[in-house]
Amino acid sequence: MASLLVAMEHLSLWINGEKLPIEETQLPEFFTSFQEGHEPTPEDGCPLCHLNSEKERIRYEGEGFVIVDTLRKKGHKERVMLVIGKHGIDHSRQLLEEAIEALITVGARVFSRDFCLLSDKFSSTRYHWHIVASDLDPETEDYQQMLQTPFVLIRRTDADGDKN
């Protein structure tokens, strides 16, 4: 798996349509920051706590996390989600960095063009650390909401080094 630090040259942080610089150390905090101040989903009613039993949806299984196909594609051909196995939002930096790195790697296989890692600003499940990866397609049902959601854009390069 490629180092997250090597992949950083292809990352851009977008908040409300504004491109901002991002550093490797900011990624775990960026994705956790939108959980704060919201009513948490109780662990016994959390739909993300039981994803390991849905083997047909798993794209990648890491130590302490899984990457799965989302149930609702919202008009996208592909949409995947990284879910930390343990309920809550307080996890080690190492776990979060490894999980994000794996999501970027899986995303590079799944998406043929640029894709984004969406914050959970509009998530219906709170207090269970997760990230959705998706393309930015104006023809999908959630496109306008995605533009209002802070995200990290993963820029793809072709063999000639050109962006697509």
Integer Cα distance of 128 and 9 in angstroms: 29
Cβ count near 129 (within 10 Å)? 24
Q: Where are the domains of the chain?
A: 20-154
pTM: 0.79
pLDDT tens for each residue of 102-151: 998 999 899 998 899 988 777 777 778 888 999 989 999 999 888 888 88
Higher-confidence residue: 21 or 130?
Answer: 130
Pairing assessment for the beta strands 79-84 and 58-62 based on DSSP bridges: unpaired
Query: Quick one: average pLDDT of 2-11?
Result: 49
Q: What is the pLDDT of residue 72?
A: 84
Query: Quick one: average pLDDT of 86-105?
Result: 87
Residue 62: Cβ-neighbour burial (10 angstroms; 0-12, 13-18, 19+): middle
Least confident of 7-11, 56-60, 94-98: 7-11
The rounded Cα 124 to chain-centroid distance in angstroms is 15
Integer Cα distance of 81 and 71 in angstroms: 10
> 67 and 82 in contact (C-beta within 8 Å)?
yes
The string of DSSP letters for 43-110 reads: GGG-GGGGGGG-GGGEEEEETTEEEEE-S--TT-S-EEEEEESSSBS---HHHHHHHHHHHHHHHHHH
With residue 19 as reference, give the H or E element that holds it.
strand 18-20
pLDDT tens for each residue of 22-72: 665 566 666 666 566 667 788 888 888 877 666 778 999 999 999 999 888
Which fold, 20-154?
A: HIT family, subunit A (3.30.428)
Tokens of 20: 């901002």
